[in-house]
Chain A
Amino acid sequence: MPPTNYYGTGLEQGYWGLMIVTYPYISGLVAGSFVVATLSQLFGRKRLAPIAPLAAILSFALLLSAPLTIWGDARQPSRVYELLTRMHVPYSPMALFLLIWIAYVILMLVELYAVFRAGNAERAVWQSRSLKGKISSILTLGVRNTDAASLRRDERIVRWTAGIGILLAFLFHGYIGFIFGSMKARALWSTPLMPVLFIVSAIVSGIALVQLVYLAVSKWYGWRIDRGIVAELNAWLIGTILLDLYLDVVDLVTSGVRGYAPEETFEWFNRLYFHGPLVWTYFGLQLGIGAVIPLIALMTRRSRLSIVNSAIMAFFVLVGVYAMRWNVVAGGQMASKVTNDVVSYPIIGTGYDSIQTVIGVFAVALLLFLFFMWGAPWRTGLEQPSEGTGLEQPGAGLEQPSEGAGGSSGREQPLVPPPLVTEMSNEALATPSGALPNEVTPSFLELQSLYRPSITTTQTQRGRS
């Protein structure tokens, strides 16, 4: 790699740096984790219902930190308001960004309100003296009832926002793929496959991230990990990896074979991905670690239930998808437009478009995510103490109903809400604050379990001691 002290003096350079590599990655994670949340909200995968709130706040945290990348890449960041005042819609795909982002933020606010309203209502009542209780009481926006009708209305709002949100998520990430795909000046970017490639790998990365976050959070709090959720997420991961691999192979065959590709496309694809600086990131990271190895490692049902395997494969997938963004963005710019030389594309440690700024953006996303984890009542269905040492028997998840949550995905029951006061003692009802020990105060879990049969608790089944 040439020294960087004279970078920027040639006629061709890499104009879109690491921030523009990271931006499709983050927006892909936004779209992907949103899709995981909608799997239970819209597509009826009730087994994944406990992680839907977690996926939703993960998506929201990443969504709020996504514009930092492109804002940090613009050379005149103080003028980004012009995207609103002078937007060149619909001719410039980049001009749509701010509109889509604002619409998506509003939609996420509505959806998060509906997802967490019941939990906030409960927390506002039972923990009304604490800060969290006060925040929750604001977040309910005054609607405090947790009866069946309001819960049904919440679910309806969630279904609608999930449906529209899927379209917006596709638009949010699709326009980025379209920016690259519509660039007729760069042979490596100009392909109709580009938007589809980006969307599918986005969903892959989102599933992997939710898997990793679920495992990490459960391990951190010492909760019991539901193998059913792990296995189902792995199943979805395999399905989308297959689709992603198919598109990658189509891209490889149509661009990397001399007989099928135009000269410029083939020459640069061959020079960069087959012989040049991107061999290892393409075959090793994007295709190998990111697609083929997780596919093989998660092939059997038994391997899909293993926690360590799932975590490692999820991490591999995340690395592989970042490598895909790198290959597309950096590789496309390494292909010279007007000469025969490979444009050098240095990775800078600190400064503009550097690794430091990328880490910074992820740090902001992490900070937001931790703040949402602190403030939002997302633990429904996840907060289960581990049994024993936590080393589960393999195979004890899918076929028979497990001793915990998720075992009733096949059990269809009509939603008949029992009266609220059946299972609670009068003392419990009479106590106003959350200062009492948990044995007396019914947890939100118990409340929820009365109305959502899919969520069962070890406490209610085995009794609190």
Chain B
Amino acid sequence: MPINREAVSRRSFLGMLSATAAAVGGSISLLGSTTAKAVRVVARPSVAQMGRLLSYYKTKPRWASWLVPELNVNDGWQRWMRTILNSKSLPIVHDNFSRIGTTIRQTHHWVMVIDERRCVGCQACVVACKDENNVPVGVYRTWVDVVEIGQMVPDSNGAIVTDHGRFTNNIKRSSMPLICNHCDHPPCVEVCPVKATFKRADGIVMIDYNLCIGCGYCIQACPYNARFFNPVQQTADKCTFCAHRVDRGLLPACVTSCPTHARVFGDKNDPTSEVSKLLSTVPTTVLKEDLGTHPQVFYINREQEVYDENSIKNTVYPYTANLDSTEYATLSGNAPLPGDTGGQR
């Protein structure tokens, strides 16, 4: 090693140190008594630094214990159109959606197939989506409507024996995962007055939160109730098919977490993908087809009763149900719920 008066950088010093240690360790190992270990020095903040960090974060505003994101701070996330929303810089459209696939080249066309034969209503996808996308309390990007219809029927040969007689189980429970359908002709994108929401060339419909003025037109225009007001950001929000994961070759969080493989995500343009095979072999339906939105979430074995009988009276998991309803008020209505903001929105 040349010895000179220049400052030796920590990295080169550490390199020297580890080389020396390896040499020493290697020589000792030749004696066969100890194994060589690389020495790693990791920079940790001191206790005082940790205290300062904690008191810094204590000054940050929080909403129901969630850190309020600062969207206009110059910390690198301001280029989030390039990093998160559209990291591959795909063309985006706000109207004339038939351009995608014709005049705008479409490489992938992300769709989801939901197999209702497999969904058990475990709500794991709901939790995973909330965790992955920092969805605030009380609003959901995806949810599973589990509806129970029917009653116990008195039956003298019934299998259920109680003190009040024998009953047969005539109850049917259906579950339906619901999500933004990322329609091919989304009415929500068309009505945005400031072009804050857009459809990417690969089919994903997203919102640029820095542009949204919070007018709520898109939320009214979505026929599937997939959009909501993010109470922390005070803008519109919706499922993004976990574009930040998909762009990096992963699957959306809800798909990854589904234990029964009820959600299948893939590229419709790829004939070898599982969704293409499912779409070509299994009959599928979409929601509210007569509205002409061309949704890209396809349901296998969709139970019409879930849509028809979807009421708080039949809902098994009420936390995602229509709690702001007169039916809920007549049922119970007085339990404080998460997201209780005391009337201030």
Binding site for B on A (CB under 8 A): 1-16, 70, 73-77, 79-80, 82-83, 86-88, 91-95, 97, 179, 183-186, 277, 333, 336-344, 348, 351-352
Contact = CB atoms under 8 A, between A and B. Distances in A.
A185 B223 contact: yes
Contacts of A1: 329
B191 interface: yes
B322 to A, nearest CB: 5
A277 B327 CA distance: 12
Given A8-B339, A76-B213, A87 B194 contact: yes
Given A183-B220, A186-B220, A351-B343, A10 B190 contact: no
B324 A94 contact: no
B133 to A, nearest CB: 17
B324 A344 contact: yes
B194 A11 contact: no
B320 interface: yes
A364 B211 CA distance: 29
Given A83-B194, A185-B187, A15 B326 contact: no
Of B291, B307, B309, B325, chain A has the most CB atoms within 10 Å of the CB of B325
B136 to A, nearest CB: 11
Given A83-B193, A185-B220, A94 B215 contact: yes
B213 A8 contact: no
B336 interface: yes
A15 B229 contact: yes
A75 B223 contact: no
A439 B55 CA distance: 79
A5 B219 CA distance: 22
Nearest to B293: A184
A2 B320 contact: no
Q: Which of B211, B220, B312, B341 has the most CB atoms of chain A within a 10 A radius of its CB?
A: B220
Given A11-B225, A341-B312, 15 more contacts: A2-B326, A8-B345, A9-B138, A11-B320, A86-B194, A86-B195, A92-B190, A94-B215, A184-B187, A184-B291, A333-B220, A338-B224, A339-B321, A341-B327, A351-B343
Nearest to A353: B345
Contacts, number: 183
Given A13-B324, A352-B344, A338 B310 contact: yes
Contacts of A179: 217
Of listed A1, A183, A333, A338, residue having the most chain B CB within 10 A = A338
Contacts of A8: 138, 231, 324, 339, 341, 345
A87 B215 contact: no
Contacts of A11: 140, 143, 225, 228, 320-323
Contacts of A184: 187, 223, 291-292
Contacts of B266: none
Most chain A Cβ neighbours within 10 Å, of B215, B321, B337:
B215
Nearest to B324: A10
B267 interface: no
Contacts of A12: 225, 322, 324-325
Contacts of B325: 10, 12, 336, 339, 341-344
Contact of B344 (A10, A14, A93, A351): A351
Contacts of B231: 8
Chain B binding surface SS class: loop
Contacts of A183: 220-221
A93 B215 CA distance: 13
A185 B217 CA distance: 11
A337 B223 contact: yes
Contacts of B222: 185
B299 to A, nearest CB: 14
Q: Which 10 residue pairs are nearest across A and B when measured between Cβ atoms?
A: A75-B214, A341-B325, A10-B323, A10-B324, A185-B223, A95-B193, A340-B311, A2-B329, A94-B193, A82-B194
A370 to B, nearest CB: 31
B212 interface: yes
Contact of A337 (B143, B196, B225, B339): B225
A74 B336 CA distance: 28
Contact of B213 (A3, A13, A15, A77): A77
Given A15-B216, A94-B193, A351-B343, A340 B221 contact: no
Residue among A92, A94, A183 having the largest count of chain B Cβ atoms under 10 Å: A92
A351 B339 CA distance: 18
Contact of B194 (A95, A277, A343): A95
Given A74-B215, A79-B213, A277 B340 contact: no
Contacts of A338: 178, 224-225, 307, 310
B46 interface: no
B340 A2 contact: no
B137 to A, nearest CB: 8
A75 B234 contact: yes
B323 A80 contact: no
A23 to B, nearest CB: 11
Interface string B22-50: 00000000000000000000000000000
Given A10-B325, A79-B211, A339 B310 contact: yes
Contact of B324 (A88, A186, A343): A343
B341 to A, nearest CB: 7
Contacts of B190: 91-92
Interface string B125-163: 000000000000010100100000000000000000000
Nearest to B221: A185
A73 B342 contact: no
A447 B296 CA distance: 73
A73 B194 contact: no
Given A2-B329, A7-B343, A75-B235, A343 B322 contact: yes
A86 B187 CA distance: 18
